[in-house]
Structure 1
Amino acid sequence: MRNTIIVTVLLFIAVVAASIYYFSDSSSKQETATKTLQYLPADTYFIAAFRNNETTDTIFQNFELFEAIQGKQDFDNLKTIKQDFLSAASIKGKVQDVEVILTYHPTKSGIASLYTVGLNEKINDKILEVLFQGVDKKYKKNQTDTLGHRIYSFDKGIKDSVLFCTLHENILFAGYNPSIIHQVIDKSVKKLDHKQIEFFISQNSKNTPLSLYFSNNQIAALAKKIMRSKFGMYLNQIDSLQGSTAWNLNFKDDALIFKGETQLNLNQHNYLQLFAHQSPQVQTLANFLPKNTSSYINYSLSDINSFHRSLSDLFTYRKEADKIKSHQKLIENEGKVIFQTDILPLWNDEFAIAELDNENILGLVSLADSSKFIETSKKISSNQGDDIYQFDYSNILYSSFGDPFKSFQRPYFTRIGKVLVVANQTGVLRKYRQAYFDNQMMSGTAIFKNHTAIQSNRANVTFYIEPETAKNTINNNLKSEYAKNFRDKELFGYQNFYSTSLQVSGNAGGFISGFYALYKSKNRFGGTAAWTFQMNSKLINNPWVFNQTENSKFILVQEQDHTVYALSPSGKELWKTLFQGEILGQPIQLQDRSILLNTRSRLYRFSPDGKLIPGFSVALPSNASAGLTLTNFNNEKRIYIPCSNQIAVYDLTGKKIEDWKNPSLNSKILFDLKAATIANQNFIIAGTSQGSVYFFNEAGTLIRKEELNVNGQTLKNPIGLITTSDMKNSFVIVPKDKGEVIKVPFEGDPIKLKIGDWGTNFTFNFEDVSGSADKDYVVLSDNNLSVYNQKDSTKYFAYKFVDDVSNRPLFFKVTNNNDLVAVGTDNRMIYIFNEDGLVRNGFPVEGMSKFYFGPIDFGNNSSYLISSKRDHKIYVYKF
């Protein structure tokens, strides 16, 4: 199908932006360009204006997007004009701070660019010849006379790099294709319409680096120029589109973002015009598309009734109304279903079409009432088995929504909740249902999540494409020379775009529009792994970072066979060893840089070079249920390890503390033990799964036991601790279901508090997320992450995950003030949140749920994500 080819049109817009960025000054002002624009040919593809400032020589010079989409040859030509001509000593004064117009034009052999420079003082050809004498001597200069104008050429002996230039009406026109210059000076060549020029100038922002302008019909013209085949249903919607578009650029180091206005010719009849009087809506159908979607268009309506009236008028204009009515009459006679009163009310305000990587097509429609749809569909469809049906009558969807469903004459359909999914083959729908119920959806991918973060969340029409997924279709439909450029990863970088989208929203007969392209920048946060390390099996613990020496660190990871690796900050293996079992809890590094940790069966202490400290490892008397706690009561360090319903205690030499009374608790200890000293009294605190809280002293004597009323619930979350200078205001926090926590004071009666609305299946942590003096309640329930103030139970922030999340959040102290919340979803996406609840820049990133985020070496303030994928590799990303 010939749909995804539109990506090349959109990426061409990026070429224009990249070109301009090489020249533009982000703080400069733009002025009107009526004089220069009036000489440009009418078939000009794109136009942009910027000022030539000295300060722009180094702006964005390392912005890799330039060369990726411009191509090495054109990028070198671009630099040549800036460095060898506009910056030449003899010419520089004549063009300093003047407005430059960059335009792109069709030629017989391809597409050519033209640079138009209005001079700041009047000169003639004689003066110009003198100025050109100051150009670098490496150029061989020639001149010819054409159409009463002198055309100069500058040749440095490199193929396709001869620059042509002429002076016309005190404006310099320069480019690498002389035919465009001939069109400029030829009065018989049709030029840009004055209304188009006025629109561009009126929309030309004074506060952005550049404004990009094009006539809407030139998008289809460009597509025809580069395509080998006819339009598919995507491009058919813009084939006859008239009017103009002007966009202003918002700069982002790893993306191109344009926003502006699209003006339509209201005398034309085009499908997209049906949305011009709609208002933008939140679009949700993309969440129902499978992971192998290469492109889609999502449509949404604010007034579905006016849309249907306008669609009916369009059918009349196209002389299709009688055919449509005959189909509807057949449904009424045979199915006893009236189209206007029985079928149209079934639809909600959103629909979409999508192309998959194998070029199969899906259609989606939001249902207003699924139960009514089921009832009505029985009269107009046939059961094909496996929850798949086929419409018995033609053009039901085309009559309802128009052009997007023209290829679905009598489609098969299935229903997912309140969404109808249609296809022309039953096999496509069977694979779709399998992908949906296996949670293999596009909305769960890092590419889609990162792209939706930069585009608007409201629109009437959104076109989205992933070039990597769509590359086969793009290659098949581009003309050979353009397909070659698309595939060329050495000279171009088109396939390095993660994603691209175009959005339009109704605006009183016109459109507010935007273009978004996310690039695989090497400099993008999390874009490319700084290094990888191959393991033999999967990572089973969160990686840890410890001090190796006084000025270096190392990374500790453990894989499934319990092998432990020590890696340098650059990814070099320092040593490896085998532990007896999986590491539990958080290892602790001591002052001598040795590391304490325990597995289920043993206690380890080893130096940063991997050698065991004498006396270790130590066999535990019974299996540990969580990681150790280190105390320093009375200047004596002790190690406390929860072993189901008992506690094992050791000193730093690995010797068991004999005077520990080794009491038995009533049930399994929840996670690690807590230690506190309040009013000169030392405490070891344990919470149990049956809802009891035990307070021991350092010798194991039971000071207090509080049996809580948890209504028979088995507790599964760690306890929290609030300590002050007195026992009445120091608390153990015990989370329970139904949004409640119990505050157990060190002295006094327990206090039950209602905090939120979570149910029985939740995770609870007590960590400092907000950066305040107090720790916060962090709750993950039903894929909702919520952070509450523990003093007044107000909610700091909440986040709803699209994917299922069954993993407990992680916490990383990247700043001195607070912990960052981190979540790994079941769909292998990693999120890092700032204290304001916003997803940190560069996230989500694809990776398994065991990971680390923070610094990895001294002298390097950057944070790194250390994670893994299903290939059993460690991936380290710089942020």
Structure 2
Amino acid sequence: MRNTIIVSVLLFIAVVVASVFYFGDLNNEQKEYVGPVQHLPEDTYLVASFLNDATTDNIFKDFEIFEAMLGKHAMHQLKQLKQNLLRNKALSPLVGGAEILMSFHPEKEGISTLFSIHSSEKVDQAVLDQTFLTLSKKYKVSTQDTAGIRIYQFANLERDTTFKDDQPLDSLFYVTYQDNIFFSSLNKGLLVKVTDKKIEKLKENQVTFFNEHNNRNAPFTVYIPQQNIPAFISVFKQNKPGDFLRQFVNLKGETVWNINFKQDALMLTGESHLAEGKDKEYIALFANQSKTTQKLYNYFPSTTMLYVEYSFSDSKSWFEDLTLWQSKQDNYKQLQGQSQEINKSKEGLLSDFQSVLAGDFAVAEQSNSDYIGFITIQDSSRLDSIIDDIAENLSDSTYRFRYANIPYRFFGEGLKAFSRPYFVKINDMLVMANQLSTIQEYKRKWKNKDFLIASLGFKNYEQIQGNEANVTFFINTKNANNFINNTLNSDYRKKFREDEEYGYQDFYSWSLQLSGNAGNFLSRFYGIYKSKNRLGVTPSWTYSMGSRLIKGPYVFEQSDTSQFILVQEQDHTVHAIHPSGTKLWSTLFAGRIIGDVKQLPDRSLLLVTDRRRLYRFDSSGKTLQGFSTSVSAEPTSNPEIVDWNGQQVILIPSKNRIMAYDMEGGPMSGWDNSTVEGDILGNIVFVDNQAVVATSYGRVYFFDQQGNKTKEIDIEGDVSFVSPLAVTSKDNEYIYYCTDSDGKVHQIKSDGSNNVVLENQWKKGYSVYFKNINGTTSPEMIIIDGSYLQVFELGDNPRQIFDYTFTKEIDAEPLFFPISSSMFQLGIADEENLVYLFAENGSLADGFPVEGLPLFYYGKINYNSGNYLLTTKRDFKIYAFPH
């Protein structure tokens, strides 16, 4: 069994959207009603109307999606046509202030396009003759009378020298003027057809619907008379519609979509009205439901090429409507007979099974054409009590339904592909397949979290479209590449493959969403595009290294007028890079940089390495006197500069002691015995003129300027701290926070009193960080537990501010990018080499996630620059992406 896709939609949108720019800016504020619609033939495929002001021109002039879908040559030809004719000063007064319609119509081979422009005033035929005949020296204009109408023929006199092959522009196009409307097309016969009053036109109710839903505030609107969709699709396809496509194409009625502008997505939203006879169509069942949150897409394997997820909000009405729909199908008697047979074996089994089902189900087709079905369960315990009656246990918790058509019985056409499938129970869902091997392979993908949602493209799609609907159709362009090629006819297959002229390969996905609306639908159609302007696609510059990045990037001051970027690669070479991407200097350090690099007020830089070296050097890379110097133990974190009674001291944590040095690199006396019990966790904090550290033994130590231990707080019981120490202040009192291996958050006061303020069930090995990322005066607590991120506000009762679930584990440490003197922005990278940046409220920053290796930087790279993302890939290059 083969699925088909709504390929035709993505292809016709190309022509619709692209022409908006080239015909849409006649610089007049007047908005006319869509009069030309009533002249369009009944077999019109679709209509687009667009505004004629400069705003439209400005919005769409750099919209790459136009050229990607329509093609470079067609874009150029439309531009020339617009410039030579619609912008001509003789013609502009006639159409200024008019709304332009573009419609698509059948012809013997393919599709013809018609432009309809309502004239602002009636034009005398003689005046029109004179105007057209003298319109432009670039066209030869002639007239002919056909079927009682006058048609103007425009013959292009130029060749297109823009492209290497010197192709001619379309040589002939035609214009006629009837009922105060200019009609123009490359197909002369279409002009005859549209002006022939004997030809059936669009129904009055459709014209009314189009006009009522034309949003004059949107750049353009698309109208679809749905009765012509099957014929329209046949233009693009080389075979008959398959199971999935049939669910959509036979819905009668009309759809209106308005565009929402976004550089890297085609977004069309609006309403779909269903006509009489909708009770015979399966998809129409969902028009009686309310939109719900769909979640099954989170479990589709990475090899999914297309899926349809369905959901209903009211089970009672769903099953009633489904039964009525099934009663009109050919297999209804067979279904009734099977019901009697099943109930004989166990009374009430079908109703019991129905009661455990929830309202979300889906089918996904993988790139190898295998189907996987998903059904959500609302009562797992009850399912366990009847599962042996409804299915047979094969092995390894794998079952097979005892009876055929069970999925179809409860969910209809959406799951008809599964006659008597195998299935496994995972969490609160059943996962089905027609082959046992498909189930086994899915279980392996589930264990490895090898899901579709882990890809960058899907994350972009999810951010734009959302997950509230009743029906969602989705196709992944890359995974479905072979399938699409086999579906399209030769002409459109060539366009789909061609990456010089067209850009279909740069679309990640196409999707259609339907949400019930009192018997009709709210509908959305999206195409997610890899725009060259999207963050992470087109770098301003790259910088080559000899090996992978192991530290940085950092951005520091170089002078009063310029900053610079500092990185360290795997061979321990440190590079200084100008904000333009050129090399300033590089030098080899002894060892890997530990912790962060500090810049001091004199612009010198301070750091330590794992080879027990302390470095201080200026912004030109020259080491200061006394540096580099050895330190007495291997550092565990970066150095801190503290001011003790006017004397600056460099403090460096090691495994179980604090090392102290002066600003010339010499050791400070008195610190030789500043040891602690357990391992020092994180950085040293300087509080109330004392150096304070927490250790893995559940203790907090305080040291004075001479290295003397002034206080030790030992948490009662067998407590093992696992986090650095956080410091807050309240009522002129310092309060400390630390977490332990049991997932408890300890609040510790300066007098030694302490208590647990939060207990959580974080897994062993969770990570904790403290940083101000929410704009408060105190740091927040950032928890990373596998693939789960939580951020808490500290206090007597810590409060969760936001959380986020990644699709993969987080191994790399989070990054914190300064946005003020005391506030930072949180950056995280996952195992899929996707980098994330979070806004203050926990939402993802615009443009994220982005492909890149775990070490990255986000922010300004020069005093007056905009924000940049600095990241690396496996080619050992640093990429600078403007944002």
> Under a length normalisation based on structure 2, what TM-score does the superposition of the two structures give?
0.92
2:163 counterpart residue number: none
2:757–2:798: 8 Å Cα contact kept in structure 1?
no
2:362–2:374: 8 Å Cα contact kept in structure 1?
yes
| Distance of 1:28 and 1:61 partners within structure 2 | 19
1:766 counterpart residue number: 770
Q: Does 1:111 align with 2:111?
A: yes
Q: Does 1:164 align with 2:171?
A: no
Amino acid at match of 1:164: Y
| Distance of 1:309 and 1:197 partners within structure 2 | 34
Cα distance, 1:36–1:633 mapped onto 2, change above 3 Å: same
* 1:67 partner SS: helix
Cα distance, 1:816–1:587 mapped onto 2, change above 3 Å: closer
CA-CA distance at 1:358 after TM superposition:
2.4
Q: Relative to structure 2, which stretch is displaced further, 94-103 or 21-30?
A: 21-30
CA-CA distance at 1:27 after TM superposition:
11
CA-CA distance at 1:171 after TM superposition:
0.6
1:278 counterpart residue number: 289
1:94 counterpart residue number: 94
* 1:90 partner SS: coil
Amino acid at match of 1:754: V
Deviation above 6 Å: which 4+ runs of structure 1? none
After superposition, the C-alpha distances for 1:394-425 in whole angstroms (9 at most, x for unaligned) are 22212221112222222222222222112222
CA-CA distance at 1:100 after TM superposition:
1.2
| Distance of 1:829 and 1:28 partners within structure 2 | 45
1:713 counterpart residue number: 719
2:871 counterpart residue number: 867
CA-CA distance at 1:871 after TM superposition:
5.9
| Distance of 1:211 and 1:176 partners within structure 2 | 23
2:349–2:390: 8 Å Cα contact kept in structure 1?
no
1:809 counterpart residue number: 814
After superposition, the C-alpha distances for 1:21-59 in whole angstroms (9 at most, x for unaligned) are 5544799674422x3111112122221223323554444
1:702 counterpart residue number: 709
Q: 2:322 aligns with which of 291, 311, 325?
A: 311
Q: Relative to structure 2, which stretch is displaced further, 96-105 or 158-167?
A: 158-167
CA-CA distance at 1:533 after TM superposition:
5.0
Map 1:209-224 onto structure 2 (within 5 A).
209-224=219-234
| Distance of 1:219 and 1:878 partners within structure 2 | 43
| Distance of 1:572 and 1:383 partners within structure 2 | 66
2:463 counterpart residue number: 453
* 1:540 partner SS: strand
Map 1:10-25 onto structure 2 (within 5 A).
10-13=10-13, 15-24=15-24
* 2:606 partner SS: strand
Q: Relative to structure 2, which stretch is displaced further, 485-494 or 7-16?
A: 7-16
1:398 counterpart residue number: 408
Q: Does 1:262 align with 2:268?
A: no
Amino acid at match of 1:624: P
Q: Does 1:734 align with 2:738?
A: yes
1:89–1:134: 8 Å Cα contact kept in structure 2?
no
Q: Does 1:878 align with 2:856?
A: no
CA-CA distance at 1:234 after TM superposition:
1.6
Cα distance, 1:547–1:472 mapped onto 2, change above 3 Å: farther
| Distance of 2:213 and 2:465 partners within structure 1 | 21
Amino acid at match of 2:141: K
Q: Does 1:83 align with 2:83?
A: yes
Map 1:62-73 onto structure 2 (within 5 A).
62-73=62-73
| Distance of 1:362 and 1:215 partners within structure 2 | 33
1:126 counterpart residue number: 126
1:798 counterpart residue number: 802
| Distance of 1:162 and 1:816 partners within structure 2 | 66
2:755 counterpart residue number: 752
| Distance of 2:635 and 2:238 partners within structure 1 | 68
Cα distance, 1:750–1:824 mapped onto 2, change above 3 Å: farther
Q: Relative to structure 2, which stretch is displaced further, 750-759 or 209-218?
A: 750-759
2:165 counterpart residue number: none
Map 1:565-714 onto structure 2 (within 5 A).
565-572=575-582, 574-600=584-610, 601-676=612-687, 678=688, 682-709=689-716, 711-714=717-720
Cα distance, 1:580–1:388 mapped onto 2, change above 3 Å: farther
| Distance of 2:294 and 2:56 partners within structure 1 | 39
Q: Does 1:520 align with 2:520?
A: no
Amino acid at match of 2:770: F
Cα distance, 1:381–1:772 mapped onto 2, change above 3 Å: closer
2:287–2:515: 8 Å Cα contact kept in structure 1?
yes
CA-CA distance at 1:638 after TM superposition:
2.5
| Distance of 2:271 and 2:882 partners within structure 1 | 37
Map 1:41-440 onto structure 2 (within 5 A).
41-54=41-54, 56-156=56-156, 157=158, 158-268=168-278, 269-332=280-343, 336=346, 340-440=350-450
1:661–1:699: 8 Å Cα contact kept in structure 2?
no
1:337–1:379: 8 Å Cα contact kept in structure 2?
no
After superposition, the C-alpha distances for 1:216-266 in whole angstroms (9 at most, x for unaligned) are 233333222101112122201023210111122222222222222111123
Amino acid at match of 1:32: Y
Q: Does 1:825 align with 2:836?
A: no
| Distance of 1:456 and 1:46 partners within structure 2 | 27
Q: Does 1:839 align with 2:844?
A: yes
CA-CA distance at 1:380 after TM superposition:
4.5
| Distance of 1:293 and 1:576 partners within structure 2 | 46
Amino acid at match of 1:66: F
1:27–1:209: 8 Å Cα contact kept in structure 2?
no
1:211–1:249: 8 Å Cα contact kept in structure 2?
yes
After superposition, the C-alpha distances for 1:142-169 in whole angstroms (9 at most, x for unaligned) are 2222111121122224243533211111
| Distance of 1:144 and 1:398 partners within structure 2 | 60
* 2:682 partner SS: coil
CA-CA distance at 1:173 after TM superposition:
0.5
Structure 1 unmatched ranges of 5 or more: none
| Distance of 2:595 and 2:745 partners within structure 1 | 26
* 1:83 partner SS: helix
After superposition, the C-alpha distances for 1:181-207 in whole angstroms (9 at most, x for unaligned) are 222123333211111111111112243
| Distance of 1:683 and 1:100 partners within structure 2 | 75
Structure 2 unmatched ranges of 5 or more: 159-167
1:742–1:752: 8 Å Cα contact kept in structure 2?
yes
Q: Relative to structure 2, which stretch is displaced further, 714-723 or 461-470?
A: 714-723
How large is the RMSD of aligned CA atoms in angstroms? 2.8
Q: Relative to structure 2, which stretch is displaced further, 191-200 or 700-709?
A: 700-709
After superposition, the C-alpha distances for 1:430-482 in whole angstroms (9 at most, x for unaligned) are 22211111111112222222212222431100111221222221112101110
2:726–2:779: 8 Å Cα contact kept in structure 1?
no
2:474–2:509: 8 Å Cα contact kept in structure 1?
yes
| Distance of 2:530 and 2:869 partners within structure 1 | 17
Amino acid at match of 1:291: S
2:28–2:97: 8 Å Cα contact kept in structure 1?
no
| Distance of 2:152 and 2:748 partners within structure 1 | 85
Amino acid at match of 2:222: L
Q: Relative to structure 2, which stretch is displaced further, 355-364 or 812-821?
A: 812-821
Q: Relative to structure 2, which stretch is displaced further, 315-324 or 763-772?
A: 763-772
| Distance of 1:245 and 1:70 partners within structure 2 | 23
CA-CA distance at 1:750 after TM superposition:
3.2
2:792–2:802: 8 Å Cα contact kept in structure 1?
no
Cα distance, 1:96–1:590 mapped onto 2, change above 3 Å: same
Q: Relative to structure 2, which stretch is displaced further, 753-762 or 423-432?
A: 753-762
Amino acid at match of 2:36: T
Query: Alignment identity in percent?
Result: 37
Q: Relative to structure 2, which stretch is displaced further, 424-433 or 96-105?
A: 424-433
Q: In the comparison of the two structures, how many residue pairs are matched?
A: 867
Cα distance, 1:614–1:528 mapped onto 2, change above 3 Å: same
2:23–2:86: 8 Å Cα contact kept in structure 1?
no
| Distance of 2:9 and 2:2 partners within structure 1 | 13
